[in-house]
Structure 1
């Protein structure tokens, strides 16, 4: 199934038109025509089966034929991950985490962060493309970049964890995961969190966890954490 996206539609929508860029792609590139069927999601768990009523490359218009509701996830996974020095590594993380099944992402700026500015628009496009590619009906939420200190001031839902590399008393992530539980997990930059940041997280009721015996890159650690939580809800 090829999936399209329109954030403006809901259960009361009867017809709608794609923007010019998407319309051109549908008609000129995919060569769709009147009466062809398109599957569209609003990123909020709804799948719309639609029929093309006007095959215009300027304004492709469709009529909604049926609506299917996707089951609401039984848990929520929020990863707060420091941007990597090389953008392509963070973009890889965004793509793969979306495919696996993440719900919310926050780039956090830490003491040892080498990159402190992100291209939010590009990141959003990568997440959207990954959602459509893997037929996900829920679009992960990408928050603006924020300092770790300010992030810790926000009340995050569920169990809050910090994955770091210091030789301290930590439990393995897989040993503490409970199905149908919300998690917020902090993943630090290259060079890890500073001791001060770890102490601050612990003071804010974050539990320290280990992701394994080896030292992982930021983006790898984020994917390991993401997969572990998702997998724990599927067994």
Structure 2
């Protein structure tokens, strides 16, 4: 069944009008017609079953038949802060796969050794949207605009805070540090890793140093490994 992302829909709506872009896709590309069944997701946990009442290529009208709230809601909250990679396609790959696995929030952080300090979040959000549709996720992860690591470290966060780095020192395996059913913020540094001062600053702000294994991982691989482990440990 075809799935559409409709962030402005409300559970009380008896009908919904697809915008021109989605209507054109539904009628001209997918060749849907009156009576065809579709599903909608609002990005806030709502999954809607609907039927086409008017197959108009500019303003398709859908009849809402049923609504499921908190669809596949997970028992934890995962926020990964990652330094954008020099090759933006690697970051895009991470966003796609992390969304499919399960993630709630992504922050893009600018570090001292960052090779990329800007990112077009409009395009990155489209990749996330495509991934939630592909994997039938009713929750749309939040993508925050790039900001300095020093600023993010001071944000209030009511959960466990971790920093993954490759420097020597006392570090705990993520699987031993996580409390199931909680909220987690995990920092993943740039290709050159965090500087010793950045690590010290994070520790001073309540972050706990973790390791993701013995291998030296690429930025996007480390972030995906952290995402997978957090989800696996909460099954």
Alignment-derived partner of residue 122 in structure 1: 123
Gaps of 5+ in 1: none
Alignment-derived partner of residue 144 in structure 2: 143
Counterparts of 1:182-193 in structure 2, within 5 Å, are: 182-193=183-194
Counterparts of 1:12-161 in structure 2, within 5 Å, are: 12-69=12-69, 70-161=71-162
State the 1:72 CA deviation: 3.2
How many residues are paired up? 234
TM-score normalised by structure 1 residue count? 0.98
State the 1:73 CA deviation: 2.3
Alignment-derived partner of residue 198 in structure 1: 199
State the 1:71 CA deviation: 4.5
Once residues 157 and 79 of structure 2 are traced to their aligned partners in structure 1, the CA distance between those partners, rounded to angstroms, is 9
Deviations 1:149-187 (A, max 9, x none): 000111123100000000111011122222101100000
Once residues 3 and 221 of structure 1 are traced to their aligned partners in structure 2, the CA distance between those partners, rounded to angstroms, is 31
Once residues 128 and 23 of structure 2 are traced to their aligned partners in structure 1, the CA distance between those partners, rounded to angstroms, is 21
Gaps of 5+ in 2: none
Which secondary structure state, in structure 2, belongs to the residue aligned with residue 167 of structure 1? coil
Deviations 1:102-122 (A, max 9, x none): 000000000000000100100
| TM superposition outliers: structure 1 runs of 4+ over 2 Å | none
State the 1:2 CA deviation: 2.8
Please give the root-mean-square deviation of Cα atoms over the aligned residues, in Å. 0.9
Q: Is the 8 A contact 1:26 1:32 kept in 2?
A: yes
Q: Is the 8 A contact 1:157 1:184 kept in 2?
A: no
Counterparts of 1:204-215 in structure 2, within 5 Å, are: 204-215=205-216
Alignment-derived partner of residue 227 in structure 2: 226
Once residues 10 and 158 of structure 1 are traced to their aligned partners in structure 2, the CA distance between those partners, rounded to angstroms, is 30
TM-score normalised by structure 2 residue count? 0.98
Which secondary structure state, in structure 2, belongs to the residue aligned with residue 143 of structure 1? strand
Q: Is the 8 A contact 1:2 1:132 kept in 2?
A: no
Once residues 29 and 72 of structure 1 are traced to their aligned partners in structure 2, the CA distance between those partners, rounded to angstroms, is 31
Pick which of 184-193 and 8-17 moved more: 8-17
